[in-house]
Chains A and B, each alone.
Chain A
Amino acid sequence: MTQQFDGTSSYISSTELSEVVNVALALEKPLLVRGEPGTGKTLLAHAVADSLGMPLIRWHVKSTTDADDGLYHYDTVQRLNDSRFGDGDVSDIERYIELGPLGRAFDADERCVVLIDEIDKADLEFPNDLLHELDAMRFVIDETGREIVAKHRPFVLITSNAEKELPDAFLRRCIFHYIDFPSPELMRRIVSVHHPDVDDKLVERCLEKFYWLRQQPQLRKHPSTSELIDWIGALVRSGLDIDRLNRDFPFLGVLLKKEKDLSTLRRSG
């Protein structure tokens, strides 16, 4: 293997995560990533694509998404319409076949990164329906009989929020990683990427408050990395001095999004 992933200038990856990405790259198996919201699951795909110079193909899964949507779509309505109004050659079915995200990745002339985002949003059977295509990296377009075979096995990254259990047969074929919430040290590096010019002491104080907040059991939704970044941004723009931060909790609304959490915290002081 010649290409190694180790984060990018804007995406700080933990050693463990980089190692797992490299394992998945080398074994050519899909990588399933789980983790709290806001730990950068989706961004990971962008980072891998950026750092290895591979094109990124995104596939955002919704509750109505079918496994076949990822392979190809046969636009019958367009063909019907063309036959009615005489536009183009309707006998050429190939013209009405549109490849889906996986299909495009298989068909591409270079190795791609395919992001299957939030796979657990789809139907229970969705992952099972994809098993064969992810394994063999090939499929047949029934309408034309053309077989799409992956020229280069794409790097498939799958994210899940664990809303639904995924089937065992599917899990067996994946490499799995759980993105743990960043440790304060890692968080310091992440913050410095986004806010390089902020005073160290201020960052230190912010992190202290942030991790304290995350430990409050009565909160229903704990703030995540992206909220911390926004919060520090808000503090910087308002030109706040560190003394105020020592005394109270300004711009709490940036960190806590639920009305109930805000009032709970205010009450407890």
Chain B
Amino acid sequence: MFVEFYFHLRKRGIPASPTEFLTLIEALEKGLAAASLTRFYTLARSILVKRVEHFDLYDAAFAEFFKDRPFTHPNERAQITDELLDWLQEARFLRELTEEQIAHLESLDLDELRRQFEERLAEQDERHDGGSHWIGTGGTSPFGHSGKHPSGVRIGGPGGNRTAMQIAQKRRFKNLRTDQVLDTRQIAVALRKLRRLTRDGRAEELDLDGTIDATARNAGDIEIVFRAPRENQVKLLLLADVGGSMTPHSERTSKLFSAAHKAHHFKKFEAYYFHNCPYETLYTDMARRKGKPTREVLANLDKSWRCIVVGDAAMAPPELMQAGGSINYFHFNEDAGITWLRRLKDAVPRTAWLNPDRPRWWGSYTTKIIGDLFPMFPLTIDGIEEAIDEIR
């Protein structure tokens, strides 16, 4: 049943690893759930779920898994206690492994997991036969011998069971759930490569080579030399196409943005939005209400900046090539989009374009023209790494 529970969680999208599952088993062996479903709820969550974003998922999965178990019916109380006890009594769970489940485990290609299972199974049989069942060691377990419940020890059984269900069904963590679970780490690691370290600022780091050199020159009279620590000089400008054909890609775009925002290692960082093609205004919000003149943005840039543009580059040719071609009917752009892109390239020669479409779809007229102007890469981890190599 534990294995079932584990696979149920995985099926519901909680990425609990086999190692964590084994930790849970270890905890149960130590009697940490103490025959109470409420405590089991907390215990399993603290070991298997490591992100608040997944708490709601866990609550839902927990409620779902235990909802249809027979012991939730109050009129079956006698059975409840026994069954719950059996269930929480870790000794039984290993014997519950069916051929199917073993096959399932194997299909995960986790030989290691299986080996550990078997080891533990062997270990437990020995202990069991020896008569010194694990229960009793250190007095931590509330269980008596041979799986029977000794009188005198209260079990939170049915009561606890319902409490856990209530907790789970309340789903307190709903507002912490982001269905798009941000895994910005990979992007952040890729962005870190974008740096050029130079020494600038106050000398506060010991320069060992310098010290040895100066000391040798002093004929052994020690002279300590300090130097400035290395700092990243790279400034990053991020431009993103939002709305229209970019909507399906908004998740990946926002991941890139949030990773870049969280990266503290850039000397300066600015981000703007545009729709289809940048014209005389760049926007600071995704709804494109607040803007800043593009000229002003470009004027503040110099050669130490790097620029990443995210967009599918696919638009109607006039949007790129003609004055007044903007997709927005009420907007008349005096300079064609391509002119603005060339100005961007002049201001920041090291600009790369990330395209969320797959490369085999990069055939459109405007995509080709933009691809001639800027090196273009797919919006994937590999693509981001290549783009960063290009503009570094």
Interface residues of A (CB under 8 A from B): 1-2, 16, 19-20, 22-24, 26-27, 29, 32, 34, 63, 76-77, 80-81, 83-84, 124, 162-165, 167-168, 171-172, 174-178, 180
Given A77-B206, A175-B46, decide whether A165 and B27 contact each other with a Cβ distance below 8 A. no
Which one, A27, A81, A124, contacts B26 given CB within 8 A? A27
B49 to chain A, nearest CB (A): 7
Q: Which of B17-25, B61-69, B284-292, B304-312 contacts A (4 or more CB under 8 A)?
A: B17-25
- Interface status of B249 (Cβ within 8 A of chain A): no
**Which B-chain residue is minimally distant from A27 (CB atoms)?**
B27
A164 to B262, CA, bound (A): 7
Q: B25-46 toward A: CB 8 Å interface, digit per residue (1/0)? A: 0110010100000010011011
- Interface status of B47 (Cβ within 8 A of chain A): yes
Given A80-B222, A172-B19, decide whether A167 and B42 contact each other with a Cβ distance below 8 A. no
A248 to B382, CA, bound (A): 58
A62 to B26, CA, bound (A): 34
A53 to B47, CA, bound (A): 26
Q: What residues of chain B lie closer than 8 Å to A81, measured between beta carbons?
A: 222
**Which B-chain residue is minimally distant from A35 (CB atoms)?**
B52
- Interface status of B55 (Cβ within 8 A of chain A): yes
Given A23-B47, A26-B30, A175-B46, decide whether A165 and B188 contact each other with a Cβ distance below 8 A. yes
Q: What residues of chain B lie closer than 8 Å to A80, measured between beta carbons?
A: 222, 224
Can you list 13 residue pairs at the A/B interface with Cβ under 8 Å? A1-B30, A2-B138, A19-B39, A23-B42, A23-B43, A23-B46, A23-B47, A24-B46, A26-B140, A27-B26, A27-B32, A77-B206, A164-B188
A178 to B46, CA, bound (A): 9
- A163→B262 contact, CB < 8 A: yes
Q: What residues of chain A lie closer than 8 Å to B50, measured between beta carbons?
A: 32, 171-172, 174, 176
Given A26-B30, A178-B52, decide whether A172 and B17 contact each other with a Cβ distance below 8 A. yes
- A19-B46, A23-B43, A26-B140 known, 16 other contacts, Cβ within 8 Å: A1-B138, A19-B39, A19-B42, A22-B32, A23-B32, A23-B42, A27-B30, A29-B23, A124-B192, A164-B188, A164-B262, A165-B183, A165-B185, A168-B15, A176-B49, A177-B46
Q: Is the interface of B mostly helix, strand, loop or mixed?
A: helix
- Interface status of B322 (Cβ within 8 A of chain A): no
Given A175-B46, A175-B47, decide whether A23 and B27 contact each other with a Cβ distance below 8 A. yes
- Interface status of B73 (Cβ within 8 A of chain A): no
Given A19-B39, A26-B27, A165-B188, decide whether A84 and B32 contact each other with a Cβ distance below 8 A. no
Q: What residues of chain B lie closer than 8 Å to A1, measured between beta carbons?
A: 30, 138, 140
Q: B179-194 toward A: CB 8 Å interface, digit per residue (1/0)? A: 0001111001100100
- Interface status of B343 (Cβ within 8 A of chain A): no
- B138→A77 contact, CB < 8 A: no
Q: What residues of chain A lie closer than 8 Å to B222, measured between beta carbons?
A: 80-81, 83-84
Given A124-B189, A124-B192, decide whether A180 and B27 contact each other with a Cβ distance below 8 A. no
- A27→B23 contact, CB < 8 A: yes
B92 to chain A, nearest CB (A): 21
Q: What residues of chain B lie closer than 8 Å to A24, measured between beta carbons?
A: 46
- Interface status of B199 (Cβ within 8 A of chain A): no
- Interface status of B268 (Cβ within 8 A of chain A): no
**Which A-chain residue is minimally distant from B47 (CB atoms)?**
A175
A1 to B20, CA, bound (A): 21
Interface core residue of A19, A163, A164 (most chain B CB under 10 Å):
A19
Q: What residues of chain B lie closer than 8 Å to A175, measured between beta carbons?
A: 46-47
Q: What residues of chain A lie closer than 8 Å to B39, measured between beta carbons?
A: 19
- A20→B42 contact, CB < 8 A: yes
Q: What residues of chain B lie closer than 8 Å to A22, measured between beta carbons?
A: 32
- Interface status of B264 (Cβ within 8 A of chain A): yes
Q: What residues of chain B lie closer than 8 Å to A32, measured between beta carbons?
A: 50
A143 to B264, CA, bound (A): 33
